[in-house]
Amino acid sequence: QVQLVESGGGSVQAGGSLRLSCAASRSTSSARYDCVGWFRQAPGKEREGVAAMDSYGRTTYADSVKGRFLVSQDNGKNTLTLQMNSLKPEDTAMYYCAAARADNSNCLDFTYWGQGTQVTVSS
């Protein structure tokens, strides 16, 4: 199993920045992941993908966050980070990090999830 723990959420005014972190650990030596990502879910809305990174370091972003959010990974520390700049009220949501295996460099379904961290952006 892979355990994921998010931190860094909070409240900020529109235009501000937050940095989310996700610490990954493995409960067994056989547990592993290849892809990592950030998702968010606002009240009354479906969960949506925000950013993802595969094992080659290639990143993808939701159109709504392109140019404002940056995902990075410190493999040595098993930490995934989401730098969020120019935050908007519509970015308000619970943010989750997730991990997945890959098949021939294609990320499979995200099966490991953290508990989430709340981000609130006020206007």
pLDDT in tens, 41-98: 999 999 999 999 998 899 999 999 999 999 999 877 789 999 999 999 999 999 999 9
pLDDT in tens, 90-121: 999 999 999 999 888 889 999 999 999 999 99
Q: What is the number of helices (H) and of strands (E) in the chain?
A: 0, 11
Handedness of CA 53, 24, 18, 41 (dihedral sign): positive
Max Cα–Cα distance, the chain, nearest Å: 46
> What pLDDT score was predicted for residue 55?
86
> What pLDDT score was predicted for residue 76?
76
Q: In DSSP terms, which residues pair with 35 in a beta bridge?
A: 100
